[in-house]
């Protein structure tokens, strides 16, 4: 009986190791890189072309316009980036035509959101508001000539209006008068204005 006790924990560790190995294999073959693992093993996978968007692809980062700091070809608040399916995937469209991908072909274009800018720099607006806000330079720059002239005549409403404008412009609450967005570094810090829409509206819970 004394010799049987050491073998039982060893058997449990073996079973646990085999179980972890099975979980790892399942996670690799069914995850986003499952197709790459199949390709490495020399296999192929046939999918419907619309199924490529389920995760077996890699999308490139958008190409940024230096002047606007937004993705190139941004129209109607939408731009597109190329996505490349994993190697050795064959997709079949609705007509039955098959396309084989080697990893270098563009499978589809993924839409991403972008902003409408019209030449107004966020850094310039903040600098003008900080140093020349008492002269109304920030309001003139953003396209509010009446408020700019009023601030100029009142020396920034005795400094109080200049401070308020500096806070509002820094928080991006006050923007260009034409409704466009500030030019801000694409990979820099940005503020996102939250609003209630049909997708974010919280409905009242009804209890029976």
Using CA atoms, how far residue 121 sits from 166, 179, 188, in Å, is: 15, 14, 13
How does pLDDT run across 132-161, given as a tens digit for each residue? 999 999 999 999 999 999 999 999 999 999
How does pLDDT run across 11-26, given as a tens digit for each residue? 555 555 555 554 444 4
7 token code pair: 């073998």
Q: Residue 97: what pLDDT?
A: 84
The bridge status of strand 98-101 relative to strand 78-85 is unpaired
Task: Work out the end-to-end distance of the chain between its first and last CA atoms, rounded to an integer number of angstroms.
Answer: 63
Q: Residue 100: what pLDDT?
A: 84
């Amino acid at each position: 009986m004394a010799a049987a006790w050491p073998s039982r924990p060893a058997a449990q560790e073996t079973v646990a190791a085999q179980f972890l190995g099975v979980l790892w294999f399942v996670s690799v073959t069914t995850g986003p890189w499952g197709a790459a693992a199949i390709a490495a093993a020399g296999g192929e996978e046939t999918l419907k072309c619309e199924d490529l968007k389920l995760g077996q692809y890699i999308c490139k980062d958008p190409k940024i316009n230096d002047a606007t700091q937004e993705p190139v070809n941004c129209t109607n608040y939408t731009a597109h980036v190329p996505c490349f399916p994993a190697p050795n995937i064959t997709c079949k469209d609705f007509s039955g035509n098959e396309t084989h991908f080697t990893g270098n072909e563009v499978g589809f274009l993924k839409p991403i959101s972008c902003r409408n800018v019209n030449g107004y720099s966020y850094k310039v607006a903040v600098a003008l508001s900080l140093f020349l806000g008492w002269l109304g330079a920030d309001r003139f720059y953003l396209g509010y000539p009446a408020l700019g002239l009023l601030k100029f005549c009142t020396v920034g409403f005795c400094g109080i209006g200049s401070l308020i404008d500096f806070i509002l412009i820094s928080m991006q609450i006050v923007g260009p008068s034409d409704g466009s967005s500030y030019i801000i570094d694409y990979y820099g810090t940005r503020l996102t204005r939250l609003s209630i829409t049909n997708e974010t509206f919280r409905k009242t819970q009804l209890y029976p």
